[in-house]
């Protein structure tokens, strides 16, 4: 059993080391590579968030539910964000703060950096199943100790809340 545990820990450390080394190699490339990557980063398409370690240990970065590919607008849709703020005021503010401070549930600051849009949408619309089957949601439950109740939001309302979360995190 100890051998298996050490193998798992060594594997996770190796993956993190490889991932970090890959990021630093990109930064130390030639001037041509830097110019090419700078031009590519100027596009309005945002790269998908993936976390190799999370996938390795069984955490699905997109969550569990019907949302497999959520397209977010660049720039931010201000009307959707305003509607999302109204929903936040009526359904979310009792348990969540817009800062990183935890109230009943976790604070919303940085949530769109930590989680993919698909995960957030699946969480909002499919909370019970996510808490039962998604390891990231279960990890959050260990910290908060209280299950988030179903909010009865439709897909459009959940998308508005996501857009408001993006605005709260400083997206333009």
pLDDT tens per residue across span 54-67: 444 445 689 999 99
How far, in Å, are 18, 28, 46, 55, 96 from residue 33 at the CA level? Answer: 20, 9, 19, 29, 43
DSSP state of 96: B
Tell me: the pLDDT tens digits for 103-139? 999 999 999 999 999 999 999 999 999 999 999 999 8
- What pTM did the predictor assign? 0.66
């Amino acid at each position: 059993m100890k051998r298996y545990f050490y193998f798992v820990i060594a594997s996770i450390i190796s993956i993190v080391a490889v991932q970090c080394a890959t990021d630093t190699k990109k930064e130390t490339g030639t001037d041509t590579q830097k110019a090419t990557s700078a031009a590519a980063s100027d596009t309005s398409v945002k790269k998908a968030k993936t976390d190799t370690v999370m996938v390795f240990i069984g955490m699905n970065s997109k969550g569990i539910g019907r949302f497999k590919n959520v397209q977010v607008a660049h720039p931010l849709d201000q009307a959707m964000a305003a509607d999302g703020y109204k929903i936040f005021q009526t359904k979310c503010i009792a348990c969540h703060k817009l800062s990183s401070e935890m109230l009943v549930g976790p604070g919303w600051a940085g949530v769109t950096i930590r989680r993919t849009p698909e995960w957030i949408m699946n969480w909002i619309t499919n909370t019970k199943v996510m808490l039962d089957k998604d390891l990231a949601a279960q990890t959050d439950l260990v910290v908060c100790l209280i299950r988030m109740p179903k909010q009865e939001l439709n897909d459009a309302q959940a998308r508005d809340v996501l857009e408001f979360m993006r605005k709260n995190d400083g997206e333009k």
